[in-house]
Amino acid sequence: MPIYSEKVMDHFMNPRNVGEIENPDGIGEEGNPVCGDMMTFYIKVKDNRLEDVKFKTFGCGAAIAVSSMVSEMAKGKTLEEAKKITPRLVADELEGLPKNKFHCSNLGAQALNKAIDDYLKKQQKEGGK
Amino acid sequence: MREVYLDNAATTPLLPEVREAMIPYLGDVFGNPSSLHDWGDGSREAMETARDQVAQLIGADSDEIIFTGSGTESNNFAVKGLALAQQSKGKHVVVSAIEHFSVLHSAKTLGKWGFEVDEVPVDKYGVVDPEEVRKRLRKDTVLVSIMHANGEVGTIEPIKEIAGITSKLKVPFHTDAVATAGTIPVDVRELGVDALSLAGNQFYGPKGVGALWLRKGVRIMPLLDGGIQEGGRRAGTENVPAIVGLGKAAELAKTDMESRVKRLTPLRDRLLKELPRKVGHVVVTGHPQNRLPGHASFCVEFIEGEAMLMLLNSKGIAVSSGSACTSRALKASHVLIAMGLPHELAQGSILLTLGMDNTPEDIDYVLEMMPPIVDRLRQMSPLYAKFTKTVKGGK
């Protein structure tokens, strides 16, 4: 059996939402190249919803598929809904990840979360002015 | 789609002549080589022919060859067996930092058993400096184990020079020749070592069979206790069909070695020269000249090896990688790290190992497929984005 599910392979071979957003409302970075995987998420927020989500990923097939899946799951969701995306949910949507890849490559949800937090922090600052 | 197998360091395919030689021993000739009747004789004779063939490949005497189940077993046997047999003299062992795990982890086990293990560093090409070995030798050193060539970066080590040092001090010297035996000329007397490991699936023989050459008179502690197979040094009924295959592969390797090397070297040199030029931001790993004939290894900047491997696979090209993500343990290659490569560069490791089936057209195909694959991954990579921004910003 191949190590990756068909769904993982699909998202790896045809990743959705790759790229950067110019003047994003939030940026979130997770991982580092030393441990193998690194992901950067960019978000555009409109009326409390994720109007656009894009990513850049350095990493293995699983890391790329995870990023793609997270971007797809998050797009169009409210911030509260998007914050409920967990690594477990991402892995389930991908029809499973190899055991040893679950922790190191499954950083997409955290990176997205950081992007949302980044946005909220900026909002607070602006609100405080 | 074109299919190009460039992972001969993982395993070579089985030569049809080797398979043919093995078939009788998977059929009618099934006797246990230890049995005294005609059935046993048939298997035993075939096994002894194979022993002669392996001995001839490495310039050894037949009775110095011990058949094992793999290169890994040969290395375990040599490192643990030689150290344990000498332990009354001392408990100090020297290995290089870039040994195969079957040597490194065996040394680690010796560590748990009360031995002291010293690791010899390598330079940026993965070369062991014999002086660094000399510096580490002590009165209580009972074993030195340095590989003949590294399978991951292709570098060939100065074994003869190291043996010159160890033999003067009468320290047993084992070399892991799994990457070289059957591929480049290996002569145990000329190398001057005391023990040498080899494996069948590195030179078109079957998997699951290897051999340890042990110089006459060198003492070793068996790992497997049982019957008196292999002179009492490796118990267990021998894998006769695989041993016959190993013998046939050794015979063919000896006859064809020169022509194989001549065929592989220019193909390798094209990859080493043209791939970095075509792709850009690529570092050749290992020694630029003093390397295995079919071995081309690189680190591609800003991207990760497993992703590259998978995209190449989707184009019908088989390669391997030493990236953390490719290893089950998720650790970057200890070889690349020992050579001083930064972790993020080691992540971009890719290894193309040629075999007899490869043609110049295969190389054309790889050189054509590689740049768009690298580009695609770089477009996705935050590291590449940062790099291009710095370059632009610097202008």
Dump pLDDT digits (tens) for A83-124. 999 999 999 999 999 888 887 778 999 999 999 999 999 998
pLDDT of residue A13 exceeding 60: yes
Give the integer Cα–Cα distance in Å for B295 and B153.
8
Per the prediction, chain A carries an average pLDDT of 92
Choosing from B23, B26, B310, B325, which is the catalytic residue? B325
Give the integer Cα–Cα distance in Å for B349 and B342.
11
pLDDT of residue B329: 67
Phi, psi of B223 (to 5 degrees): -90, -35
- Of the given ranges (A103-107, B66-70, B157-161, B181-185), which has the lowest mean pLDDT? A103-107
Q: Which residues of A touch B380 (CB under 8 A)?
A: 15, 18, 56-58, 64
Q: In the predicted model, what is the mean pLDDT of residues B222-230?
A: 95
Confidence of residue B391 (pLDDT cuts 50, 70, 90): confident
How many CB pairs below 8 A link A and B? 71
Per the prediction, chain B carries an average pLDDT of 96
- Indicate the DSSP class of residue B148: S
Tokens encoding B347? 């992540």
Q: Which residues of B touch A5 (CB under 8 A)?
A: none
Q: Which residues of B touch A36 (CB under 8 A)?
A: 304, 323-325, 330, 332, 347
Residues of A with CB under 8 A from a CB of B: 12-13, 15, 18, 20, 29, 33-40, 56-64, 100-101, 104-105
pLDDT of residue B377 exceeding 80: yes
Tokens encoding B192? 């001057």
Q: Are strands B92-96 and B116-120 parallel, antiparallel or unpaired?
A: parallel
| Residue A95 φ/ψ region, left for φ over 0, alpha for ψ in the -120 to 50 degree band, beta for the rest | left
Q: Pick from A15, A58, A100: which is nearest to B304 by CB?
A: A58
Strand partners, B351: B297, B320
Active site (catalytic) residues of A: 35, 104
Q: In degrees, to the nearest 5, what angle opens at C-alpha B353 toward C-alphas B351 and B359?
A: 130
pLDDT of residue B253: 98
pLDDT of residue B382: 94
Give the integer Cα–Cα distance in Å for B319 and B301.
17
Q: In the predicted model, what is the mean pLDDT of residues B48-55?
A: 98
Concerning whether B299 is annotated as a catalytic residue, the answer is no
Tokens encoding B166? 């160890």
Q: Are strands B195-199 and B173-176 parallel, antiparallel or unpaired?
A: parallel
Q: What ipTM was assigned to the predicted interfaces of this complex? A: 0.92
pLDDT of residue B394: 52
Tokens encoding B18? 């080797």
What percentage of residues in chain B have a pLDDT greater than 90? 95
Contacts of A59 (CB under 8 A, 6+ apart): A31, A36, A37, A38, A39, A105, B304, B307, B325
pLDDT of residue B395: 44
pLDDT of residue A78 exceeding 60: yes
pLDDT tens, B233-279? Answer: 999 999 999 999 999 999 999 999 999 999 999 999 999 999 999 99
